[in-house]
Structure 1
Amino acid sequence: MKVLVVTTWFPSASAPASGVFVRRDVELLRRTHEVDVLHLHPHGAVGPTDAAPGVRRLAMSTSNPVDILRASRALRAGLARYDLVHTMSPSALLPFAPLRVRIPWVHTEHWSALLDASTVGLPARLGLGAALRLMRRPDVVVAVSSALAEHLEARLGRTVEVIPNAVDAPEQPRPRPPAGGPLRLVAVGGLIPRKGPDLAVEAVAELRRRGRDARLRWIGDGPSRAEIGALARRLGVDDVVDLPGGLAPEGVAAALAESDLFLLPTSVETFGVSIAEALLSGRPVVVGANGGQRDFVAEPDGILVAERTGIAYADAVERSLELARDRSADDIAAPLRSRVSPAARAAAYDAAYRQAVLAHG
Structure 2
Amino acid sequence: MKPIILIALFLAAALLCSQPAPREQVGPLPGGGFLLNSGWHVQPAGKQVPLDTFPMATALSRDGRYLLVLNGGYNPPSISVLDTASARELSRVPVADGWLGLAFNPKGDRVYVGGGSRASVFEFTFEQGKLSPARTFVIVPEDKRTNRDFIGDVVFSPDGRLLYAADLYHDSLVVLNPQSGMVIDHIKTGRRPYRILFHPDGKSLFVTSWTDGILGHYDAVSGALLSSVRIGPHPTDMVWDASAGPAEAVEGEARAVARIFVAAANTNNVYSIGITAGKELRLAESINVSMTPRQPLGMTPSALSLSPDGKRLYVACSDANAIAVADISQDRSHVAGFIPTGWYPTAVRVLPSGSVVVLNGRGLRSYPNLRGPNPLRTTEPVHAGVPAP
Q: Which TM bucket (shorter chain)?
A: under 0.3
More helix, by proportion: 1
Larger Rg: 2
Kindly indicate which of the two structures has a greater share of residues assigned to strand: 2
TM-score, length basis structure 2: 0.24
Work out which structure has the larger RCO, using CA pairs closer than 8 Å and 6 or more positions apart in sequence.
Answer: 1
The TM-score, its normalising length taken from structure 1, stands at 0.25
